Structure 1
């Protein structure tokens, strides 16, 4: 660790994220309203703290982002198939997750694409992970950021969602460190979300 005292902005950001996401998961009936608003707040907070990295040309970040999003989806699909082959009781949990939190209305799909995916990346990778890099080695920063990203999903009450957030957080964290491109990981997150919620849901 390079310094002993973490930036107060980082601590405040984490506290705000936990409060907002906890509130989002509190009432399933209005989840998408509160979640979308919460992410808009986190986007504003993150962008006020520093510039957004974009060191990869458009064609390259679009291709790598789309490819990584497809690969991550395929890894999750394989994971679900493996769990089912091992007769692990995940079907009910998976169906419940989709029923409670998957977008179902047109505006919710728009919010997923324009707010949720970009917002999570701007805050958790573009702000949290980027600031952790000032105090820890790259690998440690990526793991801590992924754990913190997973931690706010605890309020959903779903272990599957927490695990999925941690694994995807590791993937996007590594991509962000490797390529220093926020658009790349936003594209990756978007492709993953479109696959998992619209084209080929895992339920």
Structure 2
């Protein structure tokens, strides 16, 4: 009982921490965006690992999970590609808000940004948000409710950025990767999916130049 209460406190603390970090990264912007993001994600993962030592486990990696990760990343990219076009007709502020996110590419070269997205930011977000937050909520309130609540928390943290399009993007991604995690019970496909999608949408084929 005490162990669970301790874990609950860590979850709450880490959620507050993530909100503060996102505010610093996206609103205050005191330093290099990519370094800040990488350090922030690593910090959240370390807090989660402090509470749950066996959080990261890649035993019994299946070819199925690798294929799901690759294919789901491709599908999500085209969902965002279409969404970028459609949202232009719905939200007149869309271009300005998306441009503000893409403007961060000027703070690093493609090699640095790509490496951080592939090996730290993408994987780290899934380890924390799905592996730690969603998994623990699922154990506490049930799989479906845990999935929904974790998705809302993931999108909710982005509200602090005051960027509506970023919140919508986080909501779509949270629904997508959270559902895959709920179905597959493995971090492997969503880590691969998130890492490839991040790299594609920011480095290989950005939605906005």
CA distance in 1, matches of 2:106, 2:198: 10
**Is 1:66 paired with 2:70?**
yes
- For CA contacts below 8 A with separation 6 or more, give which structure has more relative contact order: 1
Give deviations 1:89-108, integer Å, cap 9, x for gaps.
42222222211367642323
CA distance in 2, matches of 1:166, 1:90: 16
**Is 1:147 paired with 2:148?**
no
| Residue in structure 2 matching 1:183, options 178, 188, 194 | 188
Counterpart for residue 198 of structure 1: 203
**Is 1:38 paired with 2:40?**
yes
Structure 1 outlier segments of 4+, above 6 Å = none
CA distance in 1, matches of 2:191, 2:62: 12
| Residue in structure 2 matching 1:81, options 85, 96, 99 | 85
**What is the Cα deviation at residue 168 of structure 1?**
0.2
CA distance in 2, matches of 1:171, 1:59: 20
TM-score, length basis structure 1 = 0.87
* 1:202 aligned counterpart, secondary structure: coil
Check conservation: 2:159, 2:167, Cα contact below 8 A: yes
Alignment RMSD (CA, Å): 2.5
Instruction: Judge which range, 139-148 or 50-59, deviates more.
Output: 50-59
Check conservation: 2:24, 2:30, Cα contact below 8 A: no
Map of 1:106-145 to 2, 5 A cutoff? 106-145=111-150
Instruction: Judge which range, 147-156 or 59-68, deviates more.
Output: 147-156
| Residue in structure 2 matching 1:163, options 147, 165, 168 | 168
CA distance in 1, matches of 2:143, 2:106: 33
Check conservation: 1:129, 1:141, Cα contact below 8 A: yes
Check conservation: 1:103, 1:112, Cα contact below 8 A: no
**What is the Cα deviation at residue 21 of structure 1?**
2.3
Q: Unaligned regions of 5+ residues in structure 1, if any?
A: none
Check conservation: 1:53, 1:181, Cα contact below 8 A: no
CA distance in 1, matches of 2:90, 2:19: 34
TM-score, length basis structure 2 = 0.85
| Matched residue count | 201
